[in-house]
Amino acid sequence: MLPIAIFGPAATTWFKFLQNKIVLKNKNLEIVARVAADQTIFASTNLFVFLSSMAIMEGSSPKDKLESTYATALQKNWMVWPFVQAINFKLVPLHHRVLVVNVISLGWNCYLSFLNSQGGKKEVAA
């Protein structure tokens, strides 16, 4: 329940921020700018927090966990989420965007849990 209690309000606030602060005349460029901001600021921070907090709860080193898994997680993130968010920002009304992210996150969180449990072992990096 804790991730829902934290992610939901954070994502809602983030999407409102993007909607209000990244406004351009060219709507396609606006979507690209929102996706870029989302992926460089929110996604990278979210992965950092997830992996660090998992390490702390497991009683291991956040530094070691980040060194072994962060780059792989971020790379895989950029293979999935920019496309999801581009569609989300273009077609989905603001009040439903967190719902779309939560639906896609069902699979994404399974992958993150798998990656976290592997601790960045070589076979995961492929």
Task: Give pLDDT, residue 7.
Answer: 77
Cβ contacts of 72 within 8 Å, gap of 6 or more: 115, 120, 124, 125
**Residue 74 buriedness (CB in 10 A; 0-12 / 13-18 / 19+):** middle
Task: Give pLDDT, residue 47.
Answer: 92
Angle between helices 62-91 and 44-58 (to 10 degrees): 140
Average pLDDT across each block of 10 residues of the chain; the chain has 126 residues. List them in order. Answer: 68 95 98 98 93 91 93 96 97 95 92 82 46
Neighbours of 115 (CB within 10 A): 23
Task: Give pLDDT, residue 43.
Answer: 95
The helix or strand, by DSSP H or E, that contains position 38, with its residue range, turns out to be none
Task: Give pLDDT, residue 118.
Answer: 81
Task: Give pLDDT, residue 16.
Answer: 97
Sign of CA dihedral 48, 53, 58, 62: positive
Number of structural domains found in the chain: 1
Task: Check if the beta carbon of residue 56 is closer than 8 Å to that of residue 62.
Answer: yes
72 half-sphere exposure, CB direction, 13 A CA radius: 21
Q: Alpha carbon 81 to chain centroid distance?
A: 7
